[in-house]
Amino acid sequence: MSSMQNLVQKLLNKQGSVFDLANGTNLAATFRKAAANADPDTIKAAQEAISDDGYWGIKQTSDRMVSMAIALTGGDTDKADEMISAIEKGFKQATKSWGEDLPDICQKTLEETKKKMNDWKNGVTTAADYSDYLS
């Protein structure tokens, strides 16, 4: 389960930094300077990355977390609640590492991830729905 916590922490930290760069600001002091010095092309790339269809957008980031959780459970939906707990712990650890609240996109990603995990647990979705990330 610590693998899931570490994955969540890494994904949300990265997503948060890309979001902040895209919006020309940064919540964490370590990234503020980088955002202030970002060139227009870098800002545009960050904006695309966090868009609805972007790699660091809510959908793709939550899909990656869910696919990792499914892989770590071996596809056992009885372990979904344990994975949800690990995801929440990873999110808290990422927030602590960030030094302040993570950006809204990260909060929404957590909620979407938990929704998808519950959908998988309750048979609304299957592991195949996240197979793009299980290769």
**Digit-coded pLDDT (tens) for 88-124:** 999 998 887 777 888 899 999 999 999 999 999 999 9
For 34, the token pair is: 């980088």
pLDDT tops 60 at residue 58: yes
- Percentages helix, strand, coil for the chain, rounded to the nearest 5? 75, 0, 25
- For the full predicted model, state whether its pTM sits above 0.85: no
| Domain residue extents for the chain | 2-133
Q: pLDDT tens-digit profile of 69-95? A: 999 999 999 999 999 999 999 999 888
